[in-house]
Structure 1
Amino acid sequence: MPNYWLMKSEPDAFSIDDLSAMKVSPWDGVRNYQARNFMKQMQLGDQIFFYHSSCKPAGIVGIAEVVKEAYPDYTSWDPKSAYFDAKSTPTQPRWFMVDVAFVTKFSRLISLAELKEDAALSEMPLTQKGSRLSIMPIRNEDWDRIQQHLN
């Protein structure tokens, strides 16, 4: 059985439509240790809710799938990259990324406000006050419940 995740991206930087056009893309630039550690736990076939963040309204817009497990994020070694980290090297990488493939774009956005209104999702990290992680695990029951919002 796959594991379930939620990954956030600002749509003006990388949107579900961008992923759809590319079919497969590395998910690079994660610079939070807890989010990085979640990424390192991802396995082939794991399913991901694609979440548009820092926009109005923010919310889940589709599904992606892990198609390559964690490997060093080479953008951290490039001084010209916005994600450069002088303490990360090819021999001692500090940051990792996974490759994700487009699965589907939802017919509508499931907004954060809508998710917060659903009492069954009150324990989900995304709906908790102050939850800012860009990558988080999703429990099986929450995965199923969220998809019910599309019906």
Structure 2
Amino acid sequence: MEIMTISGINLEMQGKTKAEILEEFADLAVVNGKVTDAAGFYKDLCLREEESTTGFGGGIAIPHAKSTFVTEVGVLVGRGENQVAWEAMDDQPVHCWICLLVPETGGQEHLRLLSQLSRKLMDPDFVGKLKTGTENEILTLVQGVIS
């Protein structure tokens, strides 16, 4: 299976809190066949957030977790109208997310994806397209980074 597909993009995230957004991602991960249990993966995402924030800054966060509930590596992207408090590095709210799904044993893949995406988030053109692009544009954009 592919790491990212069009069905893994939700440009109408409804959550108003970090917990609600993480829950939406857990549900989306199940729908996309990458996670066996939404509640379990949600808990793993929350535990990761307790370690340190995944708020990158500039309105973007990269929630992620290595989890026994993840069956294969995946990337989900979400964007919403709500400005969500996320304890980001710049103390600004977040409205755009890239969620990484990694099996418990996928340490190297986890680091590779996180590194590639973090580096690309320094590029204003990439960030602009992520924040305003269509589903197809975002799919092409992110696949170009993670492949």
Q: Fold-level match, TM-score > 0.5?
A: no
The answer to which structure, 1 or 2, has the higher relative contact order (CA under 8 A, 6+ apart) is: 1
Larger Rg: 1 or 2? 1
Task: Write 1 or 2 for the structure with the bigger share of strand.
Answer: 1
TM-score norm. by structure 2 comes to 0.30
Task: Write 1 or 2 for the structure with the bigger share of helix.
Answer: 2
